[in-house]
Amino acid sequence: MSLPTRSFNVFGSQHFECPDRYNLIKAIGIGAYGIVCSSNDMLMGEKVAIKKISRIFENVVDCKRTLREMKLLKHFKHENVIGLKDVYVPAGDGPNFQDVYTVTELMDTDLHQIIASNQPLSDEHCQYFIYQIMRALKHIHSANVLHRDLKPSNILLNGNCDLKICDFGLARVQDPADDDGLTVYVATRWYRAPEIMLSCPSYSKAVDVWSVGCILAEILGREPLFPGRDVIHQLNLVTDKIGKPTDEDMQHISSDHARRFIASLPNKPRMRFQDLYPGTRPDAIDLLEKMLVFNPDKRITVEQAL
């Protein structure tokens, strides 16, 4: 809705507008996605995060992603999915508004920052993080939605280790009746499932499970498991760790070119994750091995993992 607002300058000269309901605390982030400030919601008596999305109609693709994310966040009501509390545009802009502000729950940090820090992470931390991610995914997938961009920076945390998945800009409804299939270039490369990199025309909820496997490995090793420089390097890193797929496991790849590329890779056995992450609980290793499976039909499902 359009609301009367007060103007602030943040990050030097960046313009930020806030309705009277919200008492701006400080600017906490800036990037291609916009500007984020923490604020007190005086009406509800809670802290929130307000994101300014500038020039929203300048890029059609970005505009569609923003609208898609807002619609999905309004739909999802789950303690492990970030909640969208409000959307507003400055009243003075009228129907010709260019900037949109979204208000969400405020979290303390994200999993990327936790992994990169010196903070020790126990087996209990790891188990609790993955459990909450899978609970959120079960809820998301129950609506036939694929997140498609799960990575540590899209997993928010507070001081109690409560976790919420955010950033649904690349999420899509999985529609079996959609003959056009799903787009290929989604997800940050390091967390991309093999079937996406190999241009499979359709893919399933299993792509999100692969991403969670990559996140689990990153929690255990405190560094990305597959930090590929490009798609070719990425696929080489994947087969180095989980082994070259069998002919049977390549049946879901429709592209002859992609199948020939995989067939040209050297034969390598699957690496023992217990050797890669010594001291890790056997049940965590077992889950990791079942998530990082080349064939999406053989990958563990969210329900099985829970």
Q: Is the dihedral of CA 36, 39, 43, 45 positive or negative?
A: positive
Instruction: Provide the token pair at 251.
Output: 């049946």
Q: Are 28 and 38 in contact (CB under 8 A)?
A: yes
Instruction: Provide the token pair at 268.
Output: 């390598």
Instruction: Provide the token pair at 181.
Output: 């299939």
**Does 290 carry a binding-site annotation?**
no
Instruction: Give the Cα separation of 136 and 219 in Å (integer).
Output: 18
Long-range contacts of range 85-93, CB-CB < 8 Å, 24 or more positions apart?
85/41, 85/44, 85/48, 87/1, 88/1, 88/2, 88/3, 88/5, 88/19, 89/1, 89/2, 89/3, 90/2, 90/3, 90/5, 90/17, 91/2, 91/3, 91/4, 91/5, 92/5, 93/2
Helices (H), the chain: 60-75, 111-116, 123-142, 194-197, 206-221, 231-242, 256-264, 273-276, 282-291, 302-305
Q: Active-site residue among 149, 167, 208, 249?
A: 149
Instruction: Provide the token pair at 184.
Output: 């290929």
User: Between the CA atoms of 190, 191, 194 and 198, what dihedral angle is there, to the nearest 10 degrees?
Assistant: -60
Closest CA to 293 of 261, 248, 227: 248
Instruction: Give the Cα separation of 293 and 245 in Å (integer).
Output: 9
Closest CA to 288 of 213, 222, 191, 192: 213
149 is catalytic: yes
Instruction: Give the Cα separation of 86 and 7 in Å (integer).
Output: 18
153 DSSP 8-state letter: G
Binding-site annotation, residues for ATP: 52
Binding-site annotation, residues: 52
What are the catalytic residues?
A: 149
